[in-house]
Amino acid sequence: MASAGAATGIRVQERQRGTAARVVPDVLRVLLNGAVFVLLWNHIWLVDLSDRSILAASEEGSLLTQALFLSTGVAMVAAIHRIGFRHLRPLVTGPLVLCAVWLSGTALLSIEPSLSLRRLALFAIAALLSAGVLIVARSPRQLALTMAAAALVIVLSSYFAVALVPNLAIHSAFDVNSDPSHPGLWRGIFPQKNEAGAAMVILVIVGLYVARVASRVLGWSIVLLAAGFLIASGSKTAILLLPVILVITGLCQILTGGIMRTLLLLGPIVGFSLISIGSVLVPSIQDAVGALLTNATFTGRSEIWQFAIDNILVRPWRGWGLGAFWMTERTMYGGSEELTWVNTVDHAHNAYLDTALIGGLPFLALTVVAFVLAPVRDLQRVAGGTRLDAETMLFLRLWFLGLVSASFETVLYNGNNATCCMFMMAVFGLRLRTRYPIARD
């Protein structure tokens, strides 16, 4: 059993060097972290997809989203202040700092500076919340039970939405961006079935963690509820990736050597990247993928990827700025004599391409170092040559989910995305574990 104060391995005696750490009651910790998890997993409930206004360029942002993130961010800052900001010092690493500096610089040099700065502020708050939950939670058990409560809010609300307001919870032919295959697929409280699918994968991972740390009955109930909704959502990417994540991370319990673990984790990430970006850049890979996959969804994404690559080459060193490319007036209505449906998509369906669009190729390289290579190093420092404890396995699964999803969805530098926020929490968690090893009774 983990000792109190060991949610990320921060020992009790280190928290209690000052008296401030003792004045945050458990009820406030649970309420704050529970609200944060619900907010990060989904904060835009029951969207009417028949409303044609959602097709318009979205440069203004949502006042509700800004208010929710700002108020929760203020509460998190207050809680961490009580506990001690010094516990966040391990996150001040060279790669992470360079990414933050470059991202801030490209926001200032963005083609839409005001838009990019607003998106940067939202992302910064999301990053703070993703790190803060690990500091605020008093123990792994408290973290697990808080995540379980938030997971039940999300998954049960989604089931109730399908039952009570199906016009707002199930895709229909009246959706303004209706795909022929979407009608009848469940999205629950989420804006789209792919977002619902991604969230359900996260909840399956959370359920497995809860089952191991807090309650088998509660944990496996979350797993079954989330898996059932995932299947009903018809989210192909999420359904495909879940078994890959569970198998690969499960093998990390058997293959404990540094080289084998590294190859096991990075191999699928490189492979999925070759299937996606490689299918556009390398003719032989394109032919091979075309022979194996005739899915129109993949073909459509390849058109988006080519469009993204073309625009990366327009500004290869500094990018377009955070949130300043897709769904803006410039992309949707100008800059090309022949406008197609590709101009109206809201992201590249590939996080690596979107990263290069945000900050150029140097920013993509920094991102790979900070969020791909550094966490592998941290994992080996935490558990090299040994089996993984429950907390490390949670972080590993969420980190791996983010990177394999990145080849098909935009899950980096997007504070509105549940996978992005859990990916950041995982990166921060692995890093914190290198400084604060779990204290066991």
- The answer to whether residue 28 is domain-embedded is yes
Looking at the domain assignment, is residue 182 inside a domain?
yes
Look at residue 100 and tell me whether its pLDDT is greater than 50.
yes
Please determine, for residue 66, whether its predicted confidence score (pLDDT) is greater than 90: no
Q: In a 10 Å sphere around its CB, with 0-12 CB exposed, 13-18 middle and 19+ buried, how is residue 435 labelled?
A: middle
The alpha-carbon radius of gyration of the chain (Å, integer) is 21
In a domain, 2, yes or no: no
Q: Is residue 7 part of a domain?
A: no
Residue 6 located in a structural domain: no
Take residue 136 and report the two structure tokens written for it. 């605020």
58: left (phi over 0), alpha (psi -120 to 50) or beta: beta
Residue pair 231/188 in contact by the 8 Å Cβ criterion: no
Domain that holds residue 112: 12-52+61-435
pLDDT at residue 172 in the model: 84
Q: Where are the alpha helices (DSSP H) in 84-192?
A: 94-108, 113-136, 140-164, 166-169
pLDDT for 289 equals 62
The model's pTM: 0.89
- Predicted confidence (pLDDT) at residue 15 exceeds the cutoff of 50: no
Cβ-contact 148, 206 below 8 angstroms: yes
Gap between the Cα atoms of 242 and 204, Å rounded: 9
- The pLDDT-based confidence of 410 (bands split at 50, 70, 90) is confident
Instruction: Point out the least confidently predicted range of 226-240, 295-309, 352-366, 416-430.
Output: 295-309
Phi-psi sector, 319: left (phi>0), alpha (psi -120 to 50), beta: left
Task: Please give the tally of structural domains in the chain.
Answer: 1
Is residue 441 situated within a structural domain? no
Dump pLDDT digits (tens) for 253-289: 888 777 888 999 999 999 888 888 877 777 666 666 6
- How much is the pLDDT for 17? 47
Q: Is residue 1 part of a domain?
A: no
Name the pLDDT band for 292 (thresholds 50, 70, 90).
low
Q: Evaluate whether residue 163 is within a structural domain.
A: yes
338 vs 159 pLDDT, higher one: 159
pLDDT value of position 335: 52
Residue 187 in contact with residue 193, Cβ under 8 Å? yes
Q: How confident is the model at residue 341 (pLDDT cuts 50, 70, 90)?
A: low
